[in-house]
Structures are given as structure tokens and as C-alpha cells.
Chain A
Amino acid sequence: MARIAVTVDGTAREADVEPRTLLVHWLRDDLGLVGTPVGCDTSNCGSCTVMIDGRSAKSCSLLAVQADGTQITTIQGAANGEWHPVQVAFKDCHALQCGYCTPGMVVAAIDLLSENPDPSEAEIREGLRGNLCRCTGYHNIVKAVQQASELMKEAAK
């Protein structure tokens, strides 16, 4: 067992974890943060994407011990009092259907917009290629990211 200290969705957590435990399993099974789902076992689908120290990461591809000392935001912490503009835009643009990829997709989109506040369609598509969706064909996801970009620019004015 290894001792880790991680701030998850604003709450400081300390725990003893097996060194082999994946971050996503620690979040889901030990902390009960089941809003972050697991979609594959080869790091391809991105459903488990969370924010670690402000950058998106696939939580199935990290060990919990590697997250020691970091700040993690999951989909359950993405709204800070009110919904993040990406969440607002996803609903408004019908950018989700079954919703299983959505937590990872929203987090990846937040990261994308923090790096590039005004992305082109091609940049959005390239930026989200690590997150698979089987329902939407991505059309409305692209629209939602564009709308979120506008919302965030408005808010920054």
C-alpha cells in the first residue's frame, strides 16, 4: 500500500492504495466518484478523461499513486456553482445521446478550449480525436465546442 494525497473535485483526500490500482478505479471504487466511466482497456476511448492539474488525462492510463500531490477535477466537479459553458453548450447543441462518453468528452473539450480559445472545426476534430463517441457522429459535439468557445469569449469580456 502506498499513501497518496490528492485534491479531488475540491476535497482533499488521503488514502492508502495498492500500487497497481488505476486512477480511474480509485476514483470510482474507493471514492465513489462513479460519474467518470470506463469505456475500454487500451486508452483509446477517452471516456475516463479527467483534469489533472489543469490538463486532461485518461484516468485509466495512470496509476493512482502517480496522481499523488495533484488536483483532479472530474465531471462531477466540472460545474463550479453553475455549469461550465461546455456543459451548457453540450445540452443546447444536443451533443450527447447515451451520455457514456460525455464526462470524458466534456473534460477534453474544456482542456481544448483552455489551450485554444477559438479553435477551427478542424482543430476541434483533431483535438477530440482521443475521445470516441458512438452516438452523435460528433457533428453536434463540434457545434457545442464552437458554441462554448463563444460563450467563454462573451463571459471574458
Chain B
Amino acid sequence: MTATVEHVANIGRPLRRKEDARLLTGQTQWTDSIKLPGALHMTLVRSPVAHARITSVDKSAAEAMPNVVAVFTAADLGDLNARIPCVWPVTDDIVMPEFPVLAIDEVRHVGDVVAAVLATDAASAEDALEGVHVEYDTLPAVGDLEAALADGASLVHSSAGTNQCYTMNVPNGDYAAAKAASDVVVSRRFIQQRLIPSPMEPRAVAVSPMGTSGELTVWSATQIPHVLRVLLALSTGIPENRLRVIAPDVGGGFGAKLQLYREEILALVLANKLGRPVKWTETRSENMVATHHGRGQIQDIEIAATKDGILKGLKVTLTADMGAYLQIITPGIPLLGMFMYNGIYKMDAYDFSCTAVFTTKTPTDAYRGAGRPESTYAIERIMDELAAELGMDPLGLRRKNWITHEEFPYTTIAGLTYDTGNYEAATARALELFGYDELRAEQKRRRDSGDVVQLGIGVSTFTEMCGLAPSRTLGALKYVAGGWENCTIRVLPLGKVELVTGTSPHGQGHETAWSQIAADVIGVPVEDIEIIHGDTGRAPYGMDTYGSRSLAVGGQAILRAGEKVVEKAKLIAAHQMEANPDDLEFVDGAFRVKGDPERSTTIQAVAFEAFTAHNLPDGMEPTLSGESTVDPADFSFPHGTHLAAIEVDTETGKATVRKYVCVDDVGVQINPMIVEGQVHGGVAQGIGQALYEGAEYDDDGNLLTATLADYLIPSAADLPSFITDQTVTPSTTHPLGTKGVGEAGAIASTPAIINGVVDALRHLGVTDVTMPATPEAVWRTIVAAQSGAQA
């Protein structure tokens, strides 16, 4: 496929966003803002304990309360109590326990759902929760991953006979031989703490059974309206052609809204059963236990190298927390990281294994980066540890081992072919912006003087994969869906344009960026293009938005659909002007006969001709539109170099980000303003994991960080401004040369921060610090190191 964007007028410009006018004036339609006449409000009776047998449910008091219409338990729902499917059974012998929408006999995490209450108003539905009396016979909580795998451990799912969900080993090359050929072996155990994604908009769902022809309309705060429709049909048995799913304005997702949730199923089946609209809105406190979590892995990492710092091999042994049930792609998250543990480096062998474990905690699933932040953290942290062991500069070690720009395309030890990259250029630019040598000099001064505040420099040279994914690759990985994307571009009779996309934005600015691409391809003004998305009724085909795929895959469909429009329009224009199509050129929306500037017409005029159809070429169908469904040829691999200067107060343990420089290479940029914004937000989330965030449970399985007062997503006062820049190495797997940027910042920044914290304290004997590196955690690490506990 070759791009036919002949005249670039909008691609690459920092156009201000079309979306902003409504968002800045409150003219928004969040799911919770949707009012349906006669709607019943749903609230849920959630388990207050991590693990218990339900011995009785007495709902009579609730049913007698004013405005309460019905209370449903699993027994009441019977066959309507659907099961949530997992669509990524990663191994043949994976244990996939039943995941009923309403708990049957047993609850398995705090927040598990026992009953649904429906009332005529939200307050009455909330009040009625206290009228449902559930007796629990408590069972042991299962929290610690390694204890859960031990013989005799209490079981999360007794019928499974084990807490092990799956185990897998994927050897690449001969690790034992690579290790034997090495002079130095460094091992570390890193803990990827559980994170709570926390989009600012909690989830919500509203269902109306009153569509035309009995259609059920589902509004949901989701990233995946198209996938959701399939999954809702699959799980409830309601035919898919009777379901219309709409994602209206959606307030952030970060993976948390890439899901089929029990509340969505409940609202749908109850609206269908009762013939009345049903609405549910999540409270933030519910969100903390009911919306899936991310990360949650123990990473045992071993790296082997020669004494000159040439990498030989890498061994990765993961223990991954699935939580109590498998959500749609829970088991696959570690696999998304599997391909990336080798990072940007060349090596002879890489051995990956993963054991997945059930616990009595909220299920885990995708959170911004999904597997790649974990892998990037591991490789970038262990590279710093290896550099320290070898007495080398951390960037010097990286330079010795990274793929050089002449070597692309490069097939890595993990089997992926990296399309393009220029790690040298990004690193050089980052060093220039950072003032690396000056900061190293300051670090030495502070060390020499024994300053209370020590300075560390954290390095992260990352890559990641976007454009999930060629459908055949997904099939080979046992993922039960494809990776294509769809676009239709219609030029309407009066020359305005509708662009229908299968991507489903929730903050990414697709309405602006997609307009920029289409404007350049079909030669109309950006403001004449309306982007239609997030509604299976208006945008019937799509695979939605996650994994930095929207531009990487959806962008290709926009380009191809636009090309089809121009191809057809050219034939009509040639017919109208009695010219040979090959003699026409298309510039700025005008078809011109080459060498005869007097003879020209516009694409808008052609659209009107296509509408009236009075004088089209013989056999040509009326209307001017183009549709394309593109399956990506391969992934694309953005990369970058992030550098952090971290000050650590050795008396209080407080780590402060003093300077943060990132140079990202995401290929050709459609809108650099949006790219930069994505990097900022991603870096902030990665800093959140490094320094502030962590879902903490007690031994009884209670979530201790169950409100935003306890779970600390960073505030403005916790973060610095960022120094950002870009290098541009066009992708060769995308006709526009673009890669993807949605997750890059979150993938890159966490190891940069922790490498900086450790670097500040290494002379004190510190070789690691657990995340989040809170003042207490850092202070305890310093104390332990000084007492010799941490060698």
C-alpha cells in the first residue's frame, strides 16, 4: 500500500481540537447524564468480605421499601445470570472458572456482586441496599501469590483444585548456553504493584428497551462499543442485531473501560426482562473494587553478560495476579509484555515463563500499556543494575547493546520484527536537553559533600509495540478476535463530509486528528468533516480504541477509504470534463486536466454530480463514498529516551522529580500538540506508579486504598513540568509512517524514575526500591541498606 496524500496541508499541524468546544462549556453527554423516562436505577449489593460462602440472603426488607421495584439474586435471575467470558485462553490447559454476573453461593473478592436492586430513583435504590441482609460464612482470603501456589493453600475456586490459572514457558535461543558464556549474571526481583486505573469518569451504563423494532440501546462509558455488542450478545443470548451500543462522551479509560462488566450485562438483561429502562452509575468507592485493576506481578529477572558489557541472555520468570476471576483478556496481559522484555537490545537467548494465579482480589486486566510497562520496567531496571555491577555508565551499557539505526528492520530474540528506530538520535537529543554531564557533576558534588539531599539520574531507553495487531498473529496467540479497523468516508451532496470510524475515542482527540488525515486525502477543509464514532448504529464496524491502535490501525483505514473516494471522484470528474482520468491531477480538492488549468472541478462538485446521478459514467453507482477495512501488516514500534533527575531527601525518604526530559519517536505525527499531550499524561501515570500509587490489601483481603483519599493519583502539586521533544523515524508498516503514542509515556517513565531514585542512593548500598517509592518506603530502604540488610 502506498500513500497518495499528494499535498499535505493539515497532517503535522498542531490544530486545536474540535472536541474542546463542547467539553469546555459543559455541553457534554456522559453516560450518567443520559435521562430515560421511567428509568429504574440499579444499585448492587457487594460483598464486604474477600471470600465467603453465602449462607442466606434476605431481601424482604428491601422489597418493602418505598420506590423499590425489584431485588434480584442469582437464584432470582436463574438462566439470565450470564457468565462473563474470557476471550483469551492463552494455553490449552488454562483454568477458566465460571464468572457469574451475580455470585452463586460464594463471593471471591470485596466488591463481588450478590444482588441487584432496582428502584424508581437513585436515592431509593441506594437506601434499599441496607434492606438486603446477606449472611456470610467466611473463607480464608488468598492474597500472597507464592503462598497461593503452595501445597495445601486455601483455594479461590475450590472446584478448580488449584489456584494456578496457567503456566507457560517460551524459550528463545539457548539461555543456559548464553549464561554459561557470560562473565556476569545479575538477578533481581521486581514487584509490579497492583494499580487502579482511575479514569476521572467512573463507569456508567443506561439501557433502553424502547428502540425501534424492539431494539435494545445500551449507552456505556466504554472504550469498546463494538466489541461490547458482540460480548453482550455472546453472554446474554440476546441477538446482536437487536443490540445497539453507544459510547457517548467517555471520560478516560486507560484500559479500565476495555471490558465486559457485570453491570453492563445486568442492566441489559433486567431492562429486557422488565421492559423498562435501567440505569447504573458507579460511585468512585465502587470503582476502586469493581473496575478491574492493572499490573500485579512478581518479576524474577536474570540478565547475563560478558565483562565488557555485551548482553548474552535474559531470563524472565513472572508470577501474575489474575484476581478472583478472569475478565475478558486477563490472562493475556503478561503475554503482551512477553514480546518486549528484551527491549531495544540484542542478545543470544531469552527465556520467558509465567505462572498466573488466582487471588481473592478484584480481577486484573489491561491498564495503560498492558504488559509493556511491566516488561520495560524490568529490562530498564536490570540494565541499570548490570551497569552498576560492571562499573559502566548506564547509557554506555545501553549503547553497546541496542539495535543501531542501520540494522532495521530487526528481528528480535523474542521474534518480533521492529520496523524502524533511531535510538542514537533520540538519546543524543535527550542528553542535550537534559544537561547530563552537568547533572552527573552535581551528583558527584553532593555525594562527596554528604549532602542530605542526594541527586540521581534515571535512564529509560524504551520501545513498545503499537497496532495490535495483524489478525493472524492474534489468532496464533489464541485471542478470540481480529485486529482490523474500519472507516467509511461519505462526501454528502452539498460537499460536507461524514467520516465513520470504528475507533472509539475517550480523550485522544480523534475528531480532530482523523479530520486532519481525511482533509489531506480528499482535499476538503478540516472543519467540513464530521467524525462519527462510538455508536454501533451509526458506525457499524469497528474494533475500538486500546493498545495505541487507533491511529496505527484505524489511520490506515481512513487513508484507504479516502483514496477510494478520490479514485471514484476522479472517474466522475474525468467523465464530466471529457478527459482521460490519467490526464487528471488532484490538488487541494480540485481535479485539473494537466496542462489545461481552465478545465477543473472540485470534489464537492463531483459529490453533487454523484448525488444527482444525471451524468455518471456508464455502469457507475451513484453517491460518493469509500469504505475500507484494513488488517495491519505488522506492529509498529515507537521508542524514545527518557531521563529523570531525582532528588532524594535521605532523612525523610522523599523523592522529588526535579527534571524530566523525554524525546519520543512515534514516527510521523498527525497532530504534534495531541502527541505531546499524550506523552505528558502517560509520563504522569508512570510517575504515579513509581512514586504514589498502589492498591494495598490487608491479610483479610480488604482493599485499604479504597478511595481517592487513600489511593494517590498524582495532583498538580506532585508533578513537575516536562521537557518534551521528538525525533521522527517513519514507520515502514504504516502507509502514513505513523506509529502510536497512547501508552508510550506510561511505559517509559516508571523505570526512569526508579532508576533515578536508586541512582541517588546507590553509594549508600541501595540496589533497589519497591514501588511506590513513598517517603516511608525509601527511608526504610536507606535504613536497611545502611544496616547491611540490602547488599
A102 to B177, CA, bound (A): 56
A3 at the interface (CB under 8 A from B): no
CB of B708 within 8 A of CB of A44, answer yes
Collect the chain A residues with CB atoms within 8 Å of residue B683's CB: 137
The interface stretch among B195-203, B551-559, B733-741, B751-759 is B195-203
A47 to B26, CA, bound (A): 12
Contact bitstring A57-98, B, C-beta under 8 A = 1, else 0:
000000000000000001110110001000100111010111
CB of B200 within 8 A of CB of A128, answer no
**Among A44, A75, A121, contact of B707 (Cβ-Cβ < 8 Å):** A44
**B26: nearest residue on chain A (CB-CB)?**
A35
Collect the chain A residues with CB atoms within 8 Å of residue B199's CB: 98, 100, 134
B250 at the interface (CB under 8 A from A): yes
Collect the chain A residues with CB atoms within 8 Å of residue B27's CB: 35, 76
A136 at the interface (CB under 8 A from B): yes
A8 at the interface (CB under 8 A from B): no
Contact bitstring B20-36, A, C-beta under 8 A = 1, else 0:
11111111111011010
A106 to B20, CA, bound (A): 13
Contact bitstring A104-144, B, C-beta under 8 A = 1, else 0:
00100000000000000100111011111111111111100
Collect the chain B residues with CB atoms within 8 Å of residue A37's CB: 28, 30, 32-33, 201, 251
**B25: nearest residue on chain A (CB-CB)?**
A79
Q: Shortest beta-carbon distance, A103 to chain B, in Å?
A: 5
**B34: nearest residue on chain A (CB-CB)?**
A34
Contact bitstring A4-46, B, C-beta under 8 A = 1, else 0:
0000000000000010110000001100111111111110110
A45 to B711, CA, bound (A): 12
A101 at the interface (CB under 8 A from B): yes
Q: Shortest beta-carbon distance, A39 to chain B, in Å?
A: 5
A96 to B674, CA, bound (A): 10
Collect the chain B residues with CB atoms within 8 Å of residue A135's CB: 200, 252, 507, 677, 681
CB of A45 within 8 A of CB of B284, answer yes
**A37: nearest residue on chain B (CB-CB)?**
B30
A54 at the interface (CB under 8 A from B): no
**Among B22, B198, B681, B717, contact of A136 (Cβ-Cβ < 8 Å):** B681
Q: Shortest beta-carbon distance, A147 to chain B, in Å?
A: 13
Collect the chain B residues with CB atoms within 8 Å of residue A131's CB: 715-716
Contact bitstring B711-724, A, C-beta under 8 A = 1, else 0:
00101111101100
**A90: nearest residue on chain B (CB-CB)?**
B24
CB of A94 within 8 A of CB of B17, answer yes
A90 to B22, CA, bound (A): 12
CB of B202 within 8 A of CB of A39, answer yes
Q: Shortest beta-carbon distance, A152 to chain B, in Å?
A: 16
**A33: nearest residue on chain B (CB-CB)?**
B26
**Among B26, B254, B509, B721, contact of A76 (Cβ-Cβ < 8 Å):** B26
Q: Given contacts A42-B284, A102-B23, is CB(A129)–CB(B717) below 8 Å?
A: yes
Q: Shortest beta-carbon distance, B503 to chain A, in Å?
A: 15
B153 at the interface (CB under 8 A from A): no
**A78: nearest residue on chain B (CB-CB)?**
B25
**Among B200, B680, B715, B722, contact of A39 (Cβ-Cβ < 8 Å):** B200
Collect the chain A residues with CB atoms within 8 Å of residue B726's CB: none
B285 at the interface (CB under 8 A from A): yes
**A101: nearest residue on chain B (CB-CB)?**
B200
CB of B285 within 8 A of CB of A41, answer yes
**Among B19, B251, B716, contact of A138 (Cβ-Cβ < 8 Å):** B716
Q: Shortest beta-carbon distance, A120 to chain B, in Å?
A: 12
Q: How many residues of A contact B (CB 8 A)?
A: 58
CB of B33 within 8 A of CB of A87, answer no
A100 to B30, CA, bound (A): 9
Q: Given contacts A35-B26, A75-B26, A124-B716, is CB(A137)–CB(B681) below 8 Å?
A: yes
**B711: nearest residue on chain A (CB-CB)?**
A44
A42 to B24, CA, bound (A): 24
A75 to B23, CA, bound (A): 10
CB of A47 within 8 A of CB of B715, answer no
CB of B26 within 8 A of CB of A42, answer no
CB of B507 within 8 A of CB of A132, answer no
**Among B17, B33, B254, B283, contact of A41 (Cβ-Cβ < 8 Å):** B283
Collect the chain A residues with CB atoms within 8 Å of residue B708's CB: 40, 42, 44-45, 132
Q: Shortest beta-carbon distance, A143 to chain B, in Å?
A: 8
A124 to B708, CA, bound (A): 21
A99 to B677, CA, bound (A): 13
CB of B20 within 8 A of CB of A133, answer no
CB of A136 within 8 A of CB of B25, answer no
CB of B33 within 8 A of CB of A132, answer no
Within 8 A of A (CB), among B692-732: 707-709, 713, 715-719, 721-722
**B21: nearest residue on chain A (CB-CB)?**
A91
A32 to B721, CA, bound (A): 37
A75 to B27, CA, bound (A): 9
Q: Given contacts A78-B25, A79-B25, is CB(A132)–CB(B201) below 8 Å?
A: no
CB of A98 within 8 A of CB of B283, answer no
**A145: nearest residue on chain B (CB-CB)?**
B716
CB of B508 within 8 A of CB of A97, answer yes
Collect the chain A residues with CB atoms within 8 Å of residue B630's CB: none
**Among A29, A75, A101, A126, contact of B25 (Cβ-Cβ < 8 Å):** A75
Q: Given contacts A40-B707, A92-B16, is CB(A99)–CB(B23) below 8 Å?
A: yes
Within 8 A of A (CB), among B313-331: none
Q: Shortest beta-carbon distance, A89 to chain B, in Å?
A: 10
**Among A36, A39, A79, A124, contact of B284 (Cβ-Cβ < 8 Å):** A39
Collect the chain B residues with CB atoms within 8 Å of residue A132's CB: 200, 708, 713, 715
Per CB-CB distance, the 5 closest pairs between chain A and chain B, nearest first, are A35-B26, A100-B251, A99-B23, A137-B684, A98-B507
Please name 18 pairs of A and B residues whose Cβ atoms are closer than 8 Å in the assembled complex, sorted by A: A32-B35, A33-B26, A37-B30, A39-B201, A40-B707, A41-B284, A41-B707, A44-B709, A75-B25, A83-B24, A99-B24, A99-B28, A100-B200, A128-B715, A132-B713, A138-B719, A139-B680, A141-B716
Additional A-B contacts beyond A137-B682, A139-B684 (17; CB < 8 A): A33-B26, A34-B29, A35-B28, A37-B32, A37-B201, A38-B202, A39-B200, A78-B26, A91-B21, A97-B677, A97-B681, A101-B200, A124-B716, A131-B715, A132-B708, A134-B681, A135-B681
